[in-house]
């Protein structure tokens, strides 16, 4: 028996050495540290059993405790957090409230990447879809203003358009209702990312559930609309074109392998243009490898982009370090076919994670001009979801980033070289002032390059 126990212990230790970041089976092999517990009463309504809730809670808490990239956990007293949230979670009135409390607990780290996705939300992510009212809004001059509407949503067919003001939500003043909602939303990387989370919280919900609004048109007239939450696609897309001005334009909605490859193919098609605009507005991020693949298209020589930060100070690797997945030093190799013309990257508050890395890397190496609004401030990395007992998924930050100029974007965001604020009149006119400004910047860059070029004999 002792031999079997010793052999089992040796195998576990070997697995830890082979795959310390659990890259080879993360969803099945990660186990929580057992902690002393007291008997817990069964929840008042059917759903997860008390023991299942305890197992899920302990898994989330201990996984973060052991594996979070920052051993100081962003200054959070993690044990005190556990003591505060555990009784609340185990006695939550239903499963939805339970998963929400676990997510709120991860919010104590003030990190948008570290989160618990409920089984419902995990299924939506797996299917590249969301349940949503289908419109977004921002705060302008202290008022809630519609900033975008999905063509497939009830909102669009009810007549909701960008630039309209939201006057009321469920019969309550919209400003007061949203502030109340935001105050009840978990903490996040920045106030900007918390706003985005609150918008998603209002827009999301159960399929076919409804919400009532009062909207105000630019002419001052108002209308009421009860909108139904629909299933909408969140699949990544990319596009390219040569603008009438002659400059190239690339658009990417998410950093997936497929969409990024199409973006790179698009770049090859418009490579002859004298300047390039890359539109990452509303792009929440994605695969770091995809981001690096795109970055390599803009550097003819090997270039250092910065470094990664891990809990151990070692690269992310497995097979006893033989296979290095993520290096401490980040660089792109020289690409003889790189695009060398001037580049402008468009960003806004919804540009997060991988989009921030892309923009910050180009900015730090003076390869592009960043234009628009300050980004989300949500730049940490996780290596994939860990399956939580009970069907939820846990994302936890395992990598931090420092750019080549020493800046850390997490909690701050990418500050544009040229800020172009969103103004109400532009939304109402459907005017893309940032795109206009970007073409002006490229025109100046091209003119400067021509003036600096040596005269031909």
Q: Would 129-233 and 238-448 be classified into the same CATH topology?
A: no
Report the predicted TM-score, pTM, of the whole model to 2 decimal places: 0.88
For residue 14, how many other CB atoms are within 10 A of its CB? Answer: 11
pLDDT per position as a tens digit, 274-312: 999 999 999 999 999 999 999 999 999 999 999 999 999
Hey, where are the domains in the chain? 50-110, 129-233, 238-448
Which pLDDT does position 279 carry in this prediction? 98
Please say if the pLDDT value at position 77 is more than 90: yes
Which pLDDT does position 8 carry in this prediction? 32
Tokens of 18: 């082979």
Which pLDDT does position 457 carry in this prediction? 64
451 versus 453: which is more confidently predicted? 451
pLDDT per position as a tens digit, 136-183: 999 999 999 999 999 999 999 999 999 999 999 999 999 999 999 999
What's the mean pLDDT in 312-319? Answer: 77
Q: What confidence tier does 28 reach under pLDDT thresholds 50, 70, 90?
A: very low
b/e 260-291 (16+ beta carbons within 10 angstroms → b): bebbbebbeebeebbbbbbbbbbbbbbbbebb
Q: What confidence tier does 427 reach under pLDDT thresholds 50, 70, 90?
A: very high
Based on C-alpha coordinates, what's the Rg of the chain? 24
Helix 78-90 × helix 50-67 angle, to 10°: 160
Distance CA 210, CA 215 (A): 16
Distance CA 200, CA 135 (A): 10
Class of residue 50 by CB neighbours under 10 A (exposed 0-12, middle 13-18, buried 19+) = middle
Q: Return the minimum-mean-pLDDT range out of 19-23, 26-30, 72-76.
A: 26-30
pLDDT per position as a tens digit, 173-211: 999 999 999 998 999 999 999 999 999 999 999 999 999
For residue 410, how many other CB atoms are within 10 A of its CB? Answer: 25
Average pLDDT over the chain, rounded to an integer = 88
Which pLDDT does position 22 carry in this prediction? 54
Which pLDDT does position 19 carry in this prediction? 43
Please say if the pLDDT value at position 321 is more than 60: no
Class at the top of the CATH hierarchy for domain 238-448 = alpha beta
pLDDT per position as a tens digit, 42-67: 344 447 877 899 999 999 999 999 99
Please say if the pLDDT value at position 105 is more than 60: yes
Domain 129-233 has CATH 3.90.226.10: no
Q: Return the minimum-mean-pLDDT range out of 76-80, 320-324, 359-363.
A: 320-324
Q: What confidence tier does 130 reach under pLDDT thresholds 50, 70, 90?
A: confident
Q: Return the minimum-mean-pLDDT range out of 42-51, 116-125, 235-244.
A: 42-51
């Amino acid at each position: 028996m002792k031999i079997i126990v010793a052999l089992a212990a040796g195998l576990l230790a070997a697995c830890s050495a082979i795959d310390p970041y659990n890259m080879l089976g993360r969803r099945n092999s990660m186990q929580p540290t057992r902690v002393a517990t007291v008997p817990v009463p069964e929840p008042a309504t059917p759903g997860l059993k008390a023991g299942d809730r305890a197992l899920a809670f302990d898994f989330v808490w201990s996984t973060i405790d052991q594996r979070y990239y920052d051993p100081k956990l962003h200054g959070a007293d993690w044990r005190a957090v556990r003591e505060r949230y555990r009784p609340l979670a185990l006695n939550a009135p239903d499963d939805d409230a339970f998963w929400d409390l676990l997510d709120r607990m991860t919010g104590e780290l003030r990190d948008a990447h570290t989160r618990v996705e409920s089984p419902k939300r995990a299924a939506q992510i797996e299917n590249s879809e969301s349940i949503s009212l289908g419109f977004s809004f921002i705060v302008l001059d202290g008022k809630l203003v519609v900033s975008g509407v999905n063509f497939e949503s009830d909102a669009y067919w009810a007549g909701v358009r960008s630039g309209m003001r939201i006057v009321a939500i469920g019969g309550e003043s919209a400003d007061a209702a949203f502030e109340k909602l935001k105050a009840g939303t978990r903490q996040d990387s920045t106030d900007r990312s918390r706003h985005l989370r609150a918008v998603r919280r209002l827009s999301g919900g159960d399929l076919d559930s409804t919400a009532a609004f009062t909207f105000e048109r630019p002419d001052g007239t108002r209308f009421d609309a009860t909108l139904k939450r629909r299933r909408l696609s969140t699949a990544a897309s990319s596009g390219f074109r040569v603008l009438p001005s002659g400059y190239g334009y690339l658009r990417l909605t998410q950093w997936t392998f497929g969409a990024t490859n199409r973006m790179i193919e698009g770049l090859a098609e418009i490579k002859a243009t004298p300047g390039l605009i890359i539109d990452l507005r509303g792009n929440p991020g994605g695969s770091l490898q995809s981001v690096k693949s795109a970055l390599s298209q803009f550097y003819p020589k090997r270039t250092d982009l910065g470094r990664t930060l891990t809990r151990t100070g070692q690269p992310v690797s497995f097979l006893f370090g033989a296979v290095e997945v993520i290096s401490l030093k980040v660089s792109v190799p020289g690409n003889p076919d790189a695009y060398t013309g001037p580049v402008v990257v468009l960003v806004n508050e919804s540009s997060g994670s991988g989009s921030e890395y892309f923009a910050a890397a180009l900015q730090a190496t003076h390869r592009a001009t960043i234009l628009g609004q300050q980004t989300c401030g949500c730049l940490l990395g996780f290596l994939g979801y860990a399956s939580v007992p009970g069907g939820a998924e846990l994302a936890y930050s395992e990598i931090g980033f420092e750019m080549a100029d020493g800046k850390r974007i997490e909690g701050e965001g990418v500050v544009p070289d040229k800020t172009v604020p969103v103004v109400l009149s532009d939304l109402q006119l459907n005017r893309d002032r940032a795109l206009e400004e970007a073409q002006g910047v490229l025109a100046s860059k091209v003119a400067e390059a021509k003036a600096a070029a040596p005269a031909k004999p």
